[in-house]
Amino acid sequence: MADIPEGRIFDWEIRCYSVSAEEVAVTNRRLEEIGWPFRQEAGCYLGLFNANRFIMGTSPVELWTLIEPMKNAQGHVLLAGLGLGILARALAEQDKVTSITVVELSQEVISMVEPYTRHRKIKVVQGDIFKYSPAMHFDYAWIDIWNRITPSNLSEMNILEGKLQPYCSSIGFLAKSECVKNINKSIGGDN
């Protein structure tokens, strides 16, 4: 992951960023509130930004979100969102993964990241996952297209689940259970 250079194409940028002890305290309180067992650590990390808005990075909290897809992906895998290519590259090294199709909305992200994710198992497709029509069946799909974890993501998750279910044996979403927990909390339901 460290071999992706810093760079910029239009509003998209890959650059190093720092997480201070003060930011760690705020982030960790928020992570605790939403029920995530992971915690942030202070340090310098590589990040992907759009119009100066943080999209994803290489901090421990970001990397820990890859545990579920690393554990569950097998066979033919569909990923929604290329990001920094960390997950695609890690999955390509697993024997249990046959192929990886990554659907990425931004051509700028593809131009900056894809050259550093090249692998015989990885195919990157420019497109909108909401409009994507799979040409094959996938054994596993991982959807990670939201840069914030909020209950409002749940409606889009449900749309994508309905759309992709006929083409995928199993579908995972970044932080879906946390979104459901937050909705339950906001309406006074059980956790």
**Would you kindly state where each structural domain of the chain is located, as residue ranges?**
7-63, 64-179
CA torsion angle 175 180 183 184 (round to 10): -140
Which sign does the torsion angle of CA 110, 112, 118, 121 carry? negative
Contact 16, 48 (CB under 8 A): no
Question: How much is the pLDDT for 27?
Answer: 85
Question: How much is the pLDDT for 40?
Answer: 87
For residues 151 and 11, give the distance between their C-alpha atoms in angstroms, rounded to a whole number: 27
User: Residue 127's closest CA among 82, 68, 177, 191?
Assistant: 82
Question: How much is the pLDDT for 61?
Answer: 81
Single pTM value for the model: 0.86
Residue-wise DSSP of 130-174: TT---SS-BSEEEE---SS--TTHHHHHHHHHHHHGGGBS-EEET
Residue tagged 């199993």 (tokens): 170
pLDDT tens per residue across span 66-84: 989 999 999 999 999 999 9
For residues 124 and 127, give the distance between their C-alpha atoms in angstroms, rounded to a whole number: 9
Question: How much is the pLDDT for 187?
Answer: 52
pLDDT tens per residue across span 127-156: 999 999 999 999 999 999 987 777 788 889
**191 residues of the chain, pLDDT tens digit each:** 448 999 999 999 999 999 999 988 988 888 888 677 778 899 999 999 999 999 999 988 888 889 899 999 999 999 999 999 999 999 999 999 999 999 999 999 999 999 999 999 999 999 999 999 999 999 999 999 987 777 788 889 999 999 999 999 999 998 777 767 666 555 555 44
For residues 98 and 42, give the distance between their C-alpha atoms in angstroms, rounded to a whole number: 36
Q: Confirm or reject CATH 3.40.50.150 for domain 64-179, answering yes or no.
A: yes
